Every structure is written in structure tokens, then in C-alpha cells.
Amino acid sequence: MPVLNEIYHRYRELGIAMPYTFEDFRHDLALELVQELPPEERLRGLAPAERLRGLPVEERLRGLPSQERLRGLSPEDILGGLDDAERARLKELLERKEQRH
């Protein structure tokens, strides 16, 4: 690699643009190598927010039971996410439940 490095630096000194730079090579090589790693090693060191970046909400929530999805939310937060028709349906269900007891 020292010879290629020297050629690269001389091209840069002369102002000749190299279409494929060492930075390009290193980047491409890193991409190739990272693909060989198991997923848990690829994700090592990433903060949870970075791991989730770019995932749509539906993907993040897929597979979570409804109880877990609602954990930590106040009743106001839960109701705030409902439209008028959903609120009316919930009210109806709660009234039916109260009538049974």
C-alpha cells in the first residue's frame, strides 16, 4: 500500500483529480467487511436512538403487545391519540362494561 499511497499523494499535489480515491476505497472496503459481521456486532456501540433512526413507527412497534405499547402513557396521552369516532366507541365499551358489573 505505501506505493499506492505515494502515487495518490503525488496526484493530489499536482491537482489531478483521482476519480476513485483512497477514501472511496476505505469506505467501500468497510462496507464490504461490515456486511460479514453478525447484526449484533454491527449494532454494538450505537445508542438506542441511532439504532431506531429511519425506522417507521409501525416497524418499531411491530410485535409489541398492546399493554407494552401503552405502558408509561397517561390516560390523557392515550385518549389524545383517538379521533372522535374512536372516543365514542371507547365510551360505549366502557359503559357496557359498567352495566355488566
DSSP for 4-56 reads HHHHHHHHHHHTPPPSS-HHHHHHHHHHHHHHHS-HHHHHTT--HHHHHTT--
The answer to the question of residue 58 being in a domain is no
> What range does the domain containing 5 cover?
1-53
Does 47 share its domain with 69? no
Does 32 share its domain with 77? no
Does 30 share its domain with 7? yes
pLDDT in the model for residue 25: 86
pLDDT in the model for residue 35: 93
pLDDT in the model for residue 54: 93
Q: How many domains does the chain have?
A: 2
The answer to the question of residue 75 being in a domain is yes
pLDDT tens-place values along the chain, 101 residues long: 688 788 878 878 888 776 777 888 889 999 999 999 999 999 999 999 999 999 999 999 999 998 998 899 888 888 888 899 998 998 899 888 888 87
Does 46 share its domain with 90? no
